[in-house]
Structure 1
Amino acid sequence: MCFNLLKKCFLVYGFSTLALLICCCRLPAFAQSPAAGQQSAVRPNIVVIMADDLDSRQLSCYGGQNLKTTHIDRLAKEGLKFDNLIASEAMCVPTRASLFTGLYPARHGAYQNHKPVHADLKSIAHYLGDLGYRVALTGKDHMTKPRRTFPFTIVPGFETNCVAETDDYFLDSVAQFMQEEEPFCLFVMSCNPHAPWTVGNADAFDPATLKLPAHWVDTEPTRRQFARYLAEVQRLDDQVGDVLALLESKNQLDNTLVIFLGEQGPQFPGGKWTLYDNGQRSSMIIRWPKAIPAGRQTDALLQYEDITPTLIDIAGGTPDKDLDGRSFRALIDGKEGQHRKFAFGIHNNIPEGPAFPMRSIRDKRYKLIWNLLAEEDYHIKYMTNTNNKGQVFSSWRQRAATDEKARFLADRIVKHPRLEFYDLQEDPNELNNLADQQRYKKRIGTMERALKKWMEQQQDSGVAMDKPF
């Protein structure tokens, strides 16, 4: 058919038109390949490195004074550091489910620890897979079930069991995965620094000289355990360095968008399993030299739910409008300076202890925490069991018997009023509850209404969610 058209055009219009039509007829055969090449060039490979129970404020690039996190600091020096990434629930499964699905815990269903998401959901593995990415995961994989929701390619290499006493890892399989067809998205899920804090060199840290968080009780067991914890933070930094070195050795580093994530806070009192900043506030650093100038920093408020829509956006797709998160690509590109007005938090205590539901809302300066069962005591079997003398909190209670400051800090963990309201700028350790001060009543009212509106939108039933299922 094309030949007959060319013949007719030659007879009627002459040679010049014939030449033009030949180019047009041949165009599809030549246009597809360059277009694919262009798409590959603008769509980076993606490597997401995620910590496990990281106190992000211990990273030296976030102001930590107890160790030098050389490789994570390198990412911050060469990329964009986010100061206000908030985990909507300070537990491993809910946080990772939010990361992978772009949904808040009440909607993805894993709003209690170690529970699966709803089986009919899609995840980042679907969204990027549909855009031509190979999507894989190595390391901690307990948030990859059911498989129909999380169809990651599982790459051997990193430890899968977060409570293992070793974290031996190898990069051969990871290197092989990177060498295959591009583009790829690989999640490197470290188990550090999750308890039991048995890896790394704790002898590199002198417990007596460590700078403790201001909301901790200063006891010898606390310092000793903290030294072991920091050894695993150092081990995490070494893993980040090894992954960066691998990318460099494969000439992939500058074509790869590297994201470092801190997950949620540490397994110390006032951290993980709470809605305090030591539990909710995380870290994120993005290195992408083709789009991000070195040494940028932002205080924009984001949540883990925003990451999947952003990756979809970067990969050339359009994020589903039904997701709770939304892309911050414009912030990465420097076209916007802020992202969210509020970040939200949810905590359900079962199965880690008796019911103690909490909800939170915050902007960049103020946080409101609503304790829905304030008449009860908060208890976590892994953290506040004073019958277990090996737990750090047991030493806090012992000190509290004779020390008024220690008593205040220990009581703060287990006894909560209905509302807690903090000025995070003036009181970053959340030790001065301002909820009863008249000058904040209007602000508290506004935030409480916004929090309840969010819960309604999420179909969050509050107390009824903190029951066994």
Structure 2
Amino acid sequence: MSRNFFPAILLLAAAMSAAACGEAPAPTDPTNFVILVADDMGWEDASPYGHPFIRTPNLQRLADHGMRFDYAFVTTSSCSPSRASILTGKYPHQTGAEQLHWPLPEDQTTFVDLLREAGYWTASAGKWHLGDAAVARFDLVIQGGGERTTEEASENELMPGGGYASGAGAWVDALKQRPEGRPFLAWLSSFDPHRPYQEGILDTPHALEDVVVPAYLPDTPEVRKDLALYYDEIARLDHYVGSVLDELDRQQVAENTFVLFISDNGAPFPRAKTTVYDSGVRTPWIVRFPTGVKAGSTTASLVSTVDLAPTLLDLAGIESPFSFEGESIVPILNDPSAVVRDHIFAERNWHDFDDRVRAVRDSRYKYIRNFYTDIPNGPPADAIRGDTFQKMRALRDEGSLTPHQHIVFDTPRPEEELYLVADDPQELYDVSQDSAHAEALERLRGVLGAWQEATGDTSPAARTPDEYDRETGDALPNRTFQRMPPGKENTLENPENALE
């Protein structure tokens, strides 16, 4: 991990001194940071990653002027735990917020804290989902979508499900509130493309024939319509990405601003969100940084969202604390062929339903360890209520699902799974019982075990009860948004921001 002992505040002081003397800004001006976070967007569901029909011209613009990471991963496919992991530079089980809706504890150190201490102005706008204690880490927090006015909103924003429903309506407003003369961090998070979906949010919605149905989902009109509505929300999100890029240009700070687009987890469909398959934990990761990244470049190097915290501090010239588990990816920004890690790790904990899964992946294989084999590998409650899963229930009852599609209902689950992801990117063929892959199985089993020991990943004292019905997605009597770790007083923020 890179260690740099020149805080951004010293660089800022030098720049301000030069400006006072009428000099041009120094090349060591502090880097600004804009982190754009999608909510439940699959890694390949955008034109920069080859999707032929989803309309994402602004994400394409970002990639054309920056670097596209083809093998980037979140540490967990679960909304609030993923965000807590990103901010703290730790794996979810180390944060005290590994279960859905558990707030980020006050005693956790985040990159936001360290940037702010170094003189950065810090803002968050959009989806929050981090708990009340985290609010004080930012100079400005605008939770939700912000206000819409006819004077400031575009026609698209004023459509049903516009800026407010997207969670992105206040992104540009937050940037406009930054003080002059200070470097800034803007954490801009959307609700898109999280369920539930609404028709009519675009003038020209995606058609059923635009849909690319993955092999693990049945190709039916119901599934295609569900995916088309998901595409619409991605297109709406893309609109707001463009607004942010335009605002950075307007403020003349784009050249020295590191812009990153990621998702907190995979698409909200069966065998994707909440799983540790690539469909659940692989994320789009696009960086635009004109002074530090070659335009139109791509990299096949493995990166994890646990690497973001040390990367931002590295670029800001701030020493990373030893609590950060990740590695700075600055070497990759400088050279797309550089390697900073050989493995990525992912975990699944409680998210609407009880579960405990761990995974390790390298450039060729994915190894999965299922600790609770008595429960199916189903999706979260919002996806269960969706049209795709309900159609799959009907097809299951008719005996019409393929084995790849039926996996979300199968019990018992295998204790171990192994996939040759280099040849089987959708992880359809488990080779854990194939002797030809015995060496990889044994090797990755050891890598995962060593990681668990090194990061203090131990089994919980007791399993956590489900809070939804696994067939209908209906809330059970014990359901509450007021979730906290056992023995902790609840301090969760407004329930309306606590999406599943």
TM-score (norm 1): 0.85
Paired residues of 2:66 and 2:297 also in contact (CA < 8 A): yes
- 2:231 is equivalent to residue 230 of structure 1: yes
Between the aligned partners of 1:368 and 1:396, the Cα distance in structure 2 is 27
What per-residue deviation string (whole Å, max 9, x for no partner) do you get for residues 38-81 of structure 1? Answer: 67843222111111100121111101122231110111111111
Q: CA deviation at 1:179?
A: 5.0
Paired residues of 1:342 and 1:363 also in contact (CA < 8 A): yes
Residues 160 and 346 from structure 1, CA distance in 2 versus in 1: closer, same or farther, beyond 3 angstroms? farther
Q: CA deviation at 1:430?
A: 0.8
What per-residue deviation string (whole Å, max 9, x for no partner) do you get for residues 232-257 of structure 1? Answer: 00001101001111111121212211
Paired residues of 2:262 and 2:286 also in contact (CA < 8 A): yes
Q: 2:256 aligns to what?
A: 255
Q: 1:182 aligns to what?
A: 182
- 2:192 is equivalent to residue 192 of structure 1: yes
What per-residue deviation string (whole Å, max 9, x for no partner) do you get for residues 277-312 of structure 1? Answer: 110000111111111111111111111111011100
Which among 145, 152, 156 is matched to residue 138 of structure 2? 152
**Match for 2:403: what amino acid?**
F
Q: 1:306 aligns to what?
A: 307
- 2:111 is equivalent to residue 110 of structure 1: no
What per-residue deviation string (whole Å, max 9, x for no partner) do you get for residues 362-394 of structure 1? Answer: 002210111112233344551575xx5x54212
Between the aligned partners of 1:223 and 1:295, the Cα distance in structure 2 is 32
Tell which structure's C-alpha radius of gyration is larger.
1
Residues 66 and 202 from structure 1, CA distance in 2 versus in 1: closer, same or farther, beyond 3 angstroms? farther
Between the aligned partners of 1:175 and 1:377, the Cα distance in structure 2 is 44
Q: What SS does the aligned partner of 2:442 have?
A: helix
Between the aligned partners of 1:248 and 1:166, the Cα distance in structure 2 is 23
Paired residues of 2:195 and 2:383 also in contact (CA < 8 A): no
- 2:398 is equivalent to residue 412 of structure 1: no
Q: What SS does the aligned partner of 2:71 have?
A: strand
Structure 2 unaligned residues grouped into runs of 5+: 1-12, 148-160, 466-485, 487-500
Deviates more, 1:176-185 or 1:447-456: 176-185
Q: CA deviation at 1:167?
A: 4.7
Residues 364 and 72 from structure 1, CA distance in 2 versus in 1: closer, same or farther, beyond 3 angstroms? same
Q: 2:393 aligns to what?
A: 397
Q: CA deviation at 1:337?
A: 1.0
- 2:352 is equivalent to residue 352 of structure 1: yes
Between the aligned partners of 1:439 and 1:79, the Cα distance in structure 2 is 40
Q: CA deviation at 1:118?
A: 3.2
Q: What SS does the aligned partner of 2:345 have?
A: strand
Between the aligned partners of 2:462 and 2:328, the Cα distance in structure 1 is 29
- Where do 1:302-381 residues align within 5 Å? 302-334=303-335, 337-349=338-350, 351-353=351-353, 355-380=354-379
Between the aligned partners of 1:58 and 1:126, the Cα distance in structure 2 is 33
Residues 54 and 63 from structure 1, CA distance in 2 versus in 1: closer, same or farther, beyond 3 angstroms? same
- Structure with the larger RCO, 1 or 2 (CA within 8 Å, 6+ apart): 2
- Where do 1:64-83 residues align within 5 Å? 64-83=51-70
Which among 53, 74, 85 is matched to residue 87 of structure 1? 74
Q: 1:12 aligns to what?
A: none
Deviates more, 1:108-117 or 1:204-213: 204-213
What is the RMSD of the two structures over their aligned residues, measured on CA atoms? 2.8
Q: 1:243 aligns to what?
A: 244
Structure 1 unaligned residues grouped into runs of 5+: 1-28
What per-residue deviation string (whole Å, max 9, x for no partner) do you get for residues 130-160 of structure 1? Answer: 2211111111112153137x51123448617
Paired residues of 1:58 and 1:65 also in contact (CA < 8 A): no
What per-residue deviation string (whole Å, max 9, x for no partner) do you get for residues 414-440 of structure 1? Answer: 322111111112111111110100011
Between the aligned partners of 2:449 and 2:45, the Cα distance in structure 1 is 33
Whose helix proportion is higher, 1 or 2? 1
Q: 2:216 aligns to what?
A: 215
Q: What SS does the aligned partner of 1:345 have?
A: strand
Deviates more, 1:408-417 or 1:438-447: 408-417
Between the aligned partners of 1:155 and 1:384, the Cα distance in structure 2 is 29
Q: CA deviation at 1:32?
A: 8.6
Deviates more, 1:62-71 or 1:233-242: 62-71
Q: CA deviation at 1:202?
A: 7.9
Between the aligned partners of 1:166 and 1:205, the Cα distance in structure 2 is 17
Residues 180 and 173 from structure 1, CA distance in 2 versus in 1: closer, same or farther, beyond 3 angstroms? farther
Residues 437 and 383 from structure 1, CA distance in 2 versus in 1: closer, same or farther, beyond 3 angstroms? farther
Paired residues of 1:137 and 1:155 also in contact (CA < 8 A): yes
Deviates more, 1:237-246 or 1:198-207: 198-207
